[in-house]
Structure 1
């Protein structure tokens, strides 16, 4: 069994009818984890309250309070690809993530995530990702290495003061028009919960997409996301008729199956450029990875 060295956090929300206990909340909040599993974790002292004290089977539900627990999976799948550290100083770490590796723990992944690998490699438990990219996507991910300056780097993403460039390969070779798209729409959670969809309403997702080349039944693009919604580029590429090669979610959800390491999603977070909020210097980083072109 793989057990995380670092606690995960869940906040108990305000609800009209409070749960009878913390145990009942956890059992409903995580339906894929059996109640008996939570009972065992609680009995073993692996679930903690906000003050660090152990939760018991009788602990009352407390809205807006946090719960800390340690993720565990019976058999963790090994991702047979390596990350790279492109840059590191006292404030920032820049890594290039391989396809299939999640940035943080989740679902069947505990130790096999970029965060835990980098903490182990550097010995710095203060590393925290400043942003995320999908598990299926490869490329650049920035980590804060110092909690005192973390908010300064987070603001780069919140205020759009960082330029991100992606590359993508599509299986389609339809009519590209002038080969440039500026897309803005509203994205919300769809069905199932892990897919996104577009809907009417104020825009919250913006992307610029450019066709670079077409050959042998494939098309190559550069993409600049101006916002950071989950699956944004995958949805926007699908929306213009150029679904990304090996995308199992868009435009159509495919049957669940084991990862095919020979057929990674052809989406790469290729580069970032920004002004460092601490040093004032212009920082630019580029992945050395290439897509299947």
Structure 2
């Protein structure tokens, strides 16, 4: 069992959590650690001094830290960072269901599940916190930023572990739909089994030797609607059922079968021109992958729940 991370002593500010910086070496001061943190790139010495004077740089117990204060390896520092300049994602975040414990949304393409790197305010988590006025909202699982569809959040910490366990223990039934080149041999379900690994700093996941940790069922349902492919081949509509949850699993498995998902900027090859489009405000080429349904037995009530996306594979609502 993994060690549970203690919550931040600083509350969210306008829906955004304080930044957590872990000290990786001994013999450093608070200021030295923060100046070298990649997540705080662009935050200058003056801005750090302002935060220290305002008491907005603290340790795990909420004690204020001076910039010259020495810190130990593996200790944690918290502060609020400046928000990046982000192109607004021009799609709504519809709520499919809400009760006292959970809220289920239909996440559009290009919207991150939660803040990461350059994508902070333009995330489903921050949007929901701001729209609902509930800072305790947290995701029970995640979807890639480029993947649209059904996404479940918990509304308060007391139920978070129960709902997260559905996904950790693979008790949730998830189906996806994808558009990709049609291949008649996939009309009968094909199961892909291999080992996927993804290393920090590498954009793509890779197949590796070793114990199998990624299993997907892939079925061609029929001709696909929407755009064709760059090669002019016919488009197929696929049902994808992941039995594990490795990063980029479905995208990599489709590419390995010779039917990469349409408008995938990473598989089978990296396409920087396609990846740059949303940063330039062009949202016309979404990855054609949709988390179309999610079903599970509610861990608190035992009730069977099923949620179905109302999005098309082009990202527009029906």
Q: TM-score, normalised by structure 1?
A: 0.88
The yes-or-no answer on 1:95 pairing with 2:95 is: no
Native 8 Å contact 1:7 1:71 kept in 2:
no
Cα distance in 1 for partners of 2:120, 2:186 equals 45
The match for 1:160 among 159, 170, 175 is: 170
The match for 1:219 among 225, 228, 236 is: 236
Structure 1 pair 150–63 and aligned structure 2 pair: CA distance change class (3 A): same
Q: Secondary structure at the match of 2:44?
A: helix
Structure 1 pair 285–28 and aligned structure 2 pair: CA distance change class (3 A): same
Q: Which residue of 1 aligns with 2:277?
A: 258
Native 8 Å contact 1:71 1:110 kept in 2:
no
Please list the CA deviations of residues 14-70 of structure 1 after superposition, one character each: whole Å capped at 9, or x if unmatched: x5x535234433444417814x53662353234332112333322323333332232
Native 8 Å contact 2:286 2:314 kept in 1:
no
Quick check: which one's helix share is greater? 2
Q: Secondary structure at the match of 2:134?
A: coil
The yes-or-no answer on 1:241 pairing with 2:251 is: no
Instruction: State the shift of 1:292 in Å.
Output: 4.4
Q: Which residue of 2 aligns with 1:59?
A: 69
Q: Which residue of 2 aligns with 1:287?
A: 309
Structure 2 matches for 1:1-293, cutoff 5 A?
5-10=15-20, 12=22, 18=26, 20-30=28-38, 33-34=41-42, 37=44, 40-45=47-52, 46-170=56-180, 172-174=181-183, 176=185, 179-190=188-199, 192-214=201-223, 217-255=234-272, 256-259=275-278, 260-292=282-314
Unaligned 5+ segments in structure 1 are: none
Native 8 Å contact 2:182 2:237 kept in 1:
no
Instruction: State the shift of 1:270 in Å.
Output: 0.5
Native 8 Å contact 1:85 1:93 kept in 2:
yes
Q: Which residue of 1 aligns with 2:8?
A: none
Cα distance in 2 for partners of 1:90, 1:31 equals 34
Instruction: State the shift of 1:210 in Å.
Output: 1.0
Unaligned 5+ segments in structure 2 are: 1-12, 229-233
Cα distance in 2 for partners of 1:175, 1:123 equals 49
Q: Secondary structure at the match of 2:185?
A: coil
Please list the CA deviations of residues 192-232 of structure 1 after superposition, one character each: whole Å capped at 9, or x if unmatched: 52321111111222211111113661121111111111111
Q: Secondary structure at the match of 1:235?
A: helix
Native 8 Å contact 1:245 1:265 kept in 2:
yes
Structure 1 pair 144–19 and aligned structure 2 pair: CA distance change class (3 A): farther
Please give the root-mean-square deviation of Cα atoms over the aligned residues, in Å. Answer: 2.4
Please list the CA deviations of residues 235-272 of structure 1 after superposition, one character each: whole Å capped at 9, or x if unmatched: 11111111110110111111252313111110000001
Structure 1 pair 117–133 and aligned structure 2 pair: CA distance change class (3 A): same
Q: How many residues align?
A: 287
Instruction: State the shift of 1:139 in Å.
Output: 0.4
Cα distance in 1 for partners of 2:77, 2:196 equals 30
Structure 1 pair 183–61 and aligned structure 2 pair: CA distance change class (3 A): farther
